[in-house]
Structure 1
Amino acid sequence: MTASDSATPLHFEPPGPGTWEQDPVHFPRPMTHYWQEMHPPAFKKGTGEFARFYGMLIDGIQVAYVNGFGYNQKLPAPEADIPERFKRAEQVYAQKLWREQLKDWDEKHKPSTIATHRKLQAVDPGSLSDEELATYLTRCRDHHAAMIAQHMRFTAAAVLPTGDFLVHAAEWTGLPHSELLGLMRGSAEVSSGGSEEMARLKRAFANDASARKILETDRDPAKVLERLRAHGGEAGAAIEAYLDLVGNRLIDGFDIAEPTALELPDALLRAIRGAVVDDAPASDVEESTAEIRAQVPAKHAQEFDALLAEARLTYRLRDERGVYSDIWAAGLMRRAALAAGRRALDRGRIDARQQMLEAGLGEMCALVMGRDGPSADELAKRAQYRAAYTAKDAPPVLGPPPPLPPDLSKLPPAVARLMRATLVSLGHIFGSSKAENKETVLYGLAASKGLYEGPARRVSGPPEFGRIAKGDVLITESTTEAFNILLPLLGGIVTDNGGLLSHAAIVSREYGIPGVVGTREATEKIADGMLVRVDGDAGEVTVLG
């Protein structure tokens, strides 16, 4: 029985003409009013930019929210633009256009984005006047929207080379995409929690026995983190730098309703302990690459090497564009909203500071400035509604059935190649298994190799991450790239939603822990504490008792 079993049935109408498809991978629950206002124009802007940059036959994707659930609709490219799109598509593979975007990301967008995050992070919102706080809320919202657009702008660069590699390598070898994607392991450091700050942290703790002793102290986690920050020396500086990098990021999800790392000190501290020990299994990617390459016909061997190199080159963008863009920006917006909530609480306008997270930006500013705004009861009802429903309560499609994919044989070769790679990649982001599950065996997608048995930890969201113990098997609807901070604690991961290129799949592959995604029903069929076997080779999850 789910939380939604006792909720009132919802009525759904298409938000406009045409077909609208639900996105349960990224939005497994209803989103806040703030998110529903901020997200659509930024998302449309970013997807439109990558579609035009790569000469795609879509003009981006628009999103609309129905009862808080996100629905996407692909926008066709204007008829007048098609000839120019065809010309641009001819350049994509000939000139490797994703390299241009990767260079732009590494040299311009990523460093400038981090600088802006830190500039906003340096502001203490609690010290601002009412008017200044309202202005700061707006600044954080504008930055968050810009980061959503940036996240989407780099989507194609992250997935096109991977999709193209999968199409060709599967044709040459007959191997499933799940096995081919194993060759990506090690090319996305960020997906396994890697950063310069984490590397520095590991070195510092390896050389400081007293810091390690503090880290293992069985005391209040928040106080342990403070002791480490005040420890002095390289270890203290390293922990400070690491928390400055990850502390205000969301732990999972995209909405400001989700907590940041510093709000979950117990989970954060245990994850740091796991990361410092660094007992992840060794990668066998070189051996696997050689085995798969041996199955490629000789005439395609060089092309295989080239395609694999391009896929590995940009693969990290799949998670980097989120971790360094909107995941951090969302956490800063949450911090500002909670500061506004504390002020409204002190003045008796709301009943808890977290209620401010249920308000739209204009409502937040009104409550801070003492003008009309939603009541505490109204905000409480919004929170109760979002907790009562999941994506399983919403229909997968609104409007007419999705149209059939375009007949690629009728397109120019370069355009067909581009569209084929795009369709394969999107299918692996959003597609779940279609196999019929049994009572004690669930059939998902083989995201990450390995076999593991352990206790199931049924978690519906970040507020419950504190229950995760070392060696647990996470059972959840879906995860985002931000979840990489907590992966050192897990023995395996199982999700309801998402495919082989979903964030949960990528992160589990990078950590080298068994992962099965897209089971559709794991959160319904696997109770908390059950003993389960995760078979990441076969894509199966077995309930043992």
Structure 2
Amino acid sequence: MELVAPLNAFGRADLAVAGGKGANLGELVRNGFPVPGGFVVTTHAYEPAVQGRDPRACPEPSEDVRQAIIGAYARLGGGPVAVRSSATAEDLPGAAFAGQQDTYLNVVGERALLDAVRRCWGSLWTERAVAYRARLGIDDAGVRIAVVVQSMVEAEVAGVMFTADPVTGDRAHLVIDASSGLGEAVVSGLVTPDHYVLDGRGRIAFTPGRREVVIRAAAGGGVVRERGEQARARRQAGGEAGERGGRLPDDVVAELGRLGREVAAHFGRPQDIEWAYAGGRLHLLQARPMTALPPPPVGTLNPIQRRLATVLLEYLPERPYPIDMSTWIPYGPVGLMRNVLSSFGVRRAFENFLQEEDEVVYRLLPSAPKPGPKALVAPFLVAAKAARYDPARWTGDRRFRDYLAAIEALRARDLRAMPWAELLRVPRQALALVSPVADLRVDYLPGTGLALLRLLVAVRLLGRRELFAELLHGARTRTTDTNRALERLAEVARRTGALEPGPPPAEFADALAAFLDEYGHRETASPILVTPPTWEDAPEVVLDLVKVLAAGSPAPEGPGAAEARPGPGERRAAEVRPGPQGSPAREEPDGALERLLAHPLLRRSKGGRARITRWVEAARAGVAFREDSHFSFMMPQPVLRRSLLELGRRLRDAGVLTAPEDVFHLRLEELEEIGDVATLRGAEAERLRETVGRRALKREELSGVRLIDPAAVFPPAETGDALLTGAPAGGGTATGPVKVIAKPAEFGRLAPGDVLVCPYTNPSWTPLFQHAAAVVVDTGGAASHAAIVAREYGIPAVMGTGTGTSVLADGQLVTVNGDAGTVRDAAPGAGAAPGAGAGRAARAGTVTGTVTGTVTGTVTGTVTGTVTGTVTGTVTGAS
């Protein structure tokens, strides 16, 4: 219960008494680092001072505290000191609190020292400090403050040192910013500092600063600011050496680097260190963990790693939680892909691609898959499975029927009525259900792959390679079913006025409930995470999609437009409606197939035409299997998520968690260790609270840090005058205003004719494509779901741009070329090149160039160039 104690009385474990700054400095002193002498006014001195008082009023220290401070000051020598706040919630991994509490430099005399301590106490409650804690979820009630008092160093040069590059994350580089005078000029951003970078071999790269301001100690206490030229004139008038306050000698930089690396090694993580140089000596004034540090550069990824990273980035729009890492990531679609590849002899695919720091995911680094012994017989396995398992008939497999029945049984259970022990078993039960679908993928994907390969070879030999993608568009899938069901729901909303203010009409409410019952397990953000809500959990996402669709022209009536929903006994039982030869049924004219069959080599060969038709239908069935098995694979996810949130709700009611969603910061095995929530008390409850708080803090720290540098995945390409380049995903060219949609909650912002720019996509985004002029995505490739659906809708798509959402801004007029993979400025005078494009129903804006094909509905705006083909509806503007 000491009120005041010397720095060397504390170590890193004394956070609660000495605060973050005091604990870290004491640790450095104990281990022989050059730290100015000083003492700590502990939190035991602060607590009685604020007892029963408003802490924001900077309370006066009690008499015993005053005497303890004065005595320690006398033992320190009674000269000028630096007085620094040291809160119990600062200088921590995940919470630097940089500049949130006050520091006072060149404090002289007992009266000034006591006043500085009082003001440091009060700074714990400034508006900025309270707001910072609130953002990090730190409870004000648990925060205390100590004060560090150190002998003042009259620095000639001072600044900040990072023991890792704060921009690139390179742990081999040490970065130093320095300027003349006290380091306050550097840390407060008043100067452009000298910049030093030391690499792992000790080489120094130097960039001179400008020394706009110099802060120095004033006679009698406090500091003064001088303009740079004033400081230089004063030094010259005083006869000071020209080098004084200038560039640090290389040997001093090297010594500073050595100290920095030793401090980082001692604390076991990169450090943010304040330092001063005076009288030929270096002094360390503060050390804290670097926060928001990017993961280390990944170096050069091989083509396979880049391809895997492209897929994974598309699936990871947000950082996984610990509960994701222990449930849906290892057992869901990623686990499925790993199991499929391993069944054919490919090892290490999708293993350990997410790395954790402080028990929170901080880095994505795909491993390089390796062939195992089983790969030698993989061709025979593929051929055998392709011969036995036809993707067109996969829904008739008994395993799939049993899977649907098991899903229905689990969905029907009342989670809220379950006792704790029974509820704890539900997550594992939901995860166990996905295994049959993984087995189905292992069995039926070989047939899919061979059907696609066979068709590709055929169209190449016939010289019709350009038709390949279009030939695959004819497959009816559960994604197209979903989008058509959304169109029908939008039509109900339009007809009943459901989008007007007030309670929705009963007809629309019933239609929405039926839609969610059938399609509600669709993911909103990612298929490989359990933490984001599904459509069923977040119906507002569906309502936003309905608003977008209802804002356009009514959906055209045609075959299948009013297709009846499956009855209760048929729900989800028919993933693909069989057509000829068991292939997915078509509901539109088959133009691509007709053009292929018109080839001279096929025109006169009835057998050849029949064979090609079968091959096309088989390839379409394979595409449908890929889409529909994914649709089915996601069915257990909502049950899993709801069971976890029910566990979180009970932990909240027991006082362990603040909100049910806090359970996401725990791992499944940690939940399973809780014997009975009703008796959860004491140390076990506190341990869980501390774990959740620590991981939440780390997650918040990393909120602005990328999982991987996009440049490592999407290497910069020659762009010419393009704003962006990416993977060309087809669809021609279109021009329109940018609309950046960052997440599903923003779906309602998209207007017809906008260029949709987004960080990622998944099937739940594809209804937006009906009204977008084009789509530009940070992640993904030409084979991603978004690219496939964009081609089906005939809109240009550019995938894997890496930085589209940060480079482009709302309202910016751009031209998207889906064939070249470019996005160019289309503002007047920007010189956007015209090109071929495709019109669609209800697209407002400008279409530049030649529009070929069929335009159905209303095209508003200006159409320049040549319109060929069939135009049904109204063309408004010039043509």
| TM-score normalised by L of structure 2 | 0.48
- DSSP-derived class of the 1:165 partner: helix
Q: How many angstroms apart in 2 are the aligned matches of 1:10 and 1:473? A: 32
Residue number among 814, 818, 827 corresponding to 1:536 in the alignment: 818
- For residue 256 of structure 1, what is the aligned residue in structure 2? 530
- Offset of 1:180 from its aligned partner? 2.0
Residue number among 130, 135, 138 corresponding to 2:425 in the alignment: 135
Q: How many angstroms apart in 2 are the aligned matches of 1:127 and 1:439? A: 62
Q: How many angstroms apart in 2 are the aligned matches of 1:185 and 1:36? A: 35
- Offset of 1:504 from its aligned partner? 0.8
Q: How many angstroms apart in 2 are the aligned matches of 1:45 and 1:270? A: 32
- DSSP-derived class of the 1:269 partner: helix
Is the 1:31–1:386 Cα contact (8 Å) retained in structure 2?
A: no
Larger Rg: 2
Is the 1:29–1:386 Cα contact (8 Å) retained in structure 2?
A: no
Q: Does 1:319 align with 2:635?
A: no
- For residue 443 of structure 1, what is the aligned residue in structure 2? 725
Q: How many angstroms apart in 2 are the aligned matches of 1:236 and 1:523? A: 35
Q: Which moved more, 1:240-249 or 1:160-169?
A: 160-169
User: Which one has more relative contact order, counting CA pairs under 8 Å at least 6 apart?
Assistant: 1
> Which amino acid in 1 is paired with 2:705?
Y
- Offset of 1:485 from its aligned partner? 5.2
- For residue 393 of structure 1, what is the aligned residue in structure 2? 709
- For residue 243 of structure 1, what is the aligned residue in structure 2? 516
> Following superposition of structure 1 onto structure 2, how do residues 51-450 of structure 1 map, counting pairs within 5 Å?
56=344, 58=346, 61-64=349-352, 65-67=354-356, 68=361, 69=364, 71-78=366-373, 82=376, 84-91=377-384, 95=387, 97-99=388-390, 101-143=391-433, 154-173=444-463, 175-176=465-466, 179-194=467-482, 198=485, 202=488, 212-219=495-502, 224=504, 227-228=505-506, 231=507, 237-254=510-527, 255-272=529-546, 277-278=554-555, 286-294=590-598, 297-298=601-602, 304-326=612-634, 328-365=635-672, 369=677, 370=680, 371=684, 372-373=687-688, 375=690, 376-384=692-700, 387-393=703-709, 435-438=717-720, 440-450=722-732
Change (3 A) 1:270 1:48: closer
Q: How many angstroms apart in 1 are the aligned matches of 2:406 and 2:541? A: 27
Change (3 A) 1:52 1:389: closer
Residue number among 316, 325, 328 corresponding to 1:36 in the alignment: 325
Q: How many angstroms apart in 1 are the aligned matches of 2:452 and 2:404? A: 26
Change (3 A) 1:72 1:166: farther
Identity rate, percent:
20
Q: How many angstroms apart in 2 are the aligned matches of 1:110 and 1:186? A: 24
Change (3 A) 1:150 1:312: closer
- DSSP-derived class of the 1:24 partner: helix
Is the 1:453–1:534 Cα contact (8 Å) retained in structure 2?
A: yes
Structure 1 portions without partners, runs of 5+: 398-431
- DSSP-derived class of the 1:173 partner: coil
Q: How many angstroms apart in 1 are the aligned matches of 2:437 and 2:383? A: 29
Q: Which structure features the higher share of strand residues?
A: 2
- Offset of 1:257 from its aligned partner? 2.5
Q: How many angstroms apart in 1 are the aligned matches of 2:610 and 2:758? A: 41
Deviation by residue 1:388-421 (Cα, 9 ceiling, x = unmatched):
3334437858xxxxxxxxxxxxxxxxxxxxxxxx
Q: Does 1:9 align with 2:316?
A: no
Q: Root-mean-square deviation (CA), in Å?
A: 4.2
Change (3 A) 1:485 1:333: farther
Q: How many angstroms apart in 1 are the aligned matches of 2:168 and 2:536? A: 30
- For residue 518 of structure 1, what is the aligned residue in structure 2? 800
- Offset of 1:349 from its aligned partner? 1.9
> Which amino acid in 2 is paired with 1:268?
V
Change (3 A) 1:243 1:516: same
Change (3 A) 1:544 1:459: same
Q: Which moved more, 1:294-303 or 1:30-39?
A: 294-303
- Offset of 1:532 from its aligned partner? 2.9
Q: How many angstroms apart in 2 are the aligned matches of 1:392 and 1:36? A: 18
Change (3 A) 1:28 1:262: closer
Change (3 A) 1:205 1:481: closer
Is the 1:165–1:308 Cα contact (8 Å) retained in structure 2?
A: yes
Change (3 A) 1:513 1:386: farther
> Which amino acid in 2 is paired with 1:319?
E
Q: How many angstroms apart in 2 are the aligned matches of 1:307 and 1:144? A: 31
Is the 2:340–2:438 Cα contact (8 Å) retained in structure 1?
A: no
> Which amino acid in 2 is paired with 1:243?
L
Change (3 A) 1:320 1:508: same
Q: How many angstroms apart in 2 are the aligned matches of 1:12 and 1:539? A: 26
Q: How many angstroms apart in 2 are the aligned matches of 1:154 and 1:60? A: 22
Q: How many angstroms apart in 2 are the aligned matches of 1:51 and 1:311? A: 21
Is the 1:63–1:72 Cα contact (8 Å) retained in structure 2?
A: yes
Q: How many angstroms apart in 2 are the aligned matches of 1:212 and 1:279? A: 15
Q: How many angstroms apart in 1 are the aligned matches of 2:783 and 2:665? A: 31
- DSSP-derived class of the 1:356 partner: helix
Change (3 A) 1:481 1:129: same
- Offset of 1:261 from its aligned partner? 1.3
Is the 1:51–1:60 Cα contact (8 Å) retained in structure 2?
A: no
Q: How many angstroms apart in 2 are the aligned matches of 1:296 and 1:107? A: 40
- DSSP-derived class of the 1:344 partner: helix
Change (3 A) 1:290 1:140: same
Q: Which moved more, 1:495-504 or 1:484-493?
A: 484-493
- For residue 401 of structure 1, what is the aligned residue in structure 2? none
Is the 1:338–1:356 Cα contact (8 Å) retained in structure 2?
A: yes
- Offset of 1:253 from its aligned partner? 0.8
Deviation by residue 1:416-446 (Cα, 9 ceiling, x = unmatched):
xxxxxxxxxxxxxxxx797433564433344
Deviation by residue 1:466-501 (Cα, 9 ceiling, x = unmatched):
544454432223322343455445443221222222
Q: How many angstroms apart in 1 are the aligned matches of 2:545 and 2:664? A: 27
Change (3 A) 1:519 1:173: farther
> Following superposition of structure 1 onto structure 2, how do residues 481-492 of structure 1 map, counting pairs within 5 Å?
481-484=763-766, 486-488=768-770, 490-492=772-774
Q: How many angstroms apart in 1 are the aligned matches of 2:379 and 2:446? A: 17
Is the 2:778–2:800 Cα contact (8 Å) retained in structure 1?
A: yes
- Offset of 1:250 from its aligned partner? 1.6
Is the 2:324–2:531 Cα contact (8 Å) retained in structure 1?
A: no
Change (3 A) 1:382 1:343: farther
- DSSP-derived class of the 1:373 partner: helix
- Offset of 1:330 from its aligned partner? 2.3
Structure 2 portions without partners, runs of 5+: 1-166, 170-290, 560-586, 828-879
Q: Which moved more, 1:303-312 or 1:5-14?
A: 5-14
Change (3 A) 1:216 1:89: closer
Q: How many angstroms apart in 1 are the aligned matches of 2:663 and 2:731? A: 42
Change (3 A) 1:444 1:482: same
Is the 2:298–2:712 Cα contact (8 Å) retained in structure 1?
A: no
- DSSP-derived class of the 1:261 partner: coil
- Offset of 1:126 from its aligned partner? 3.3
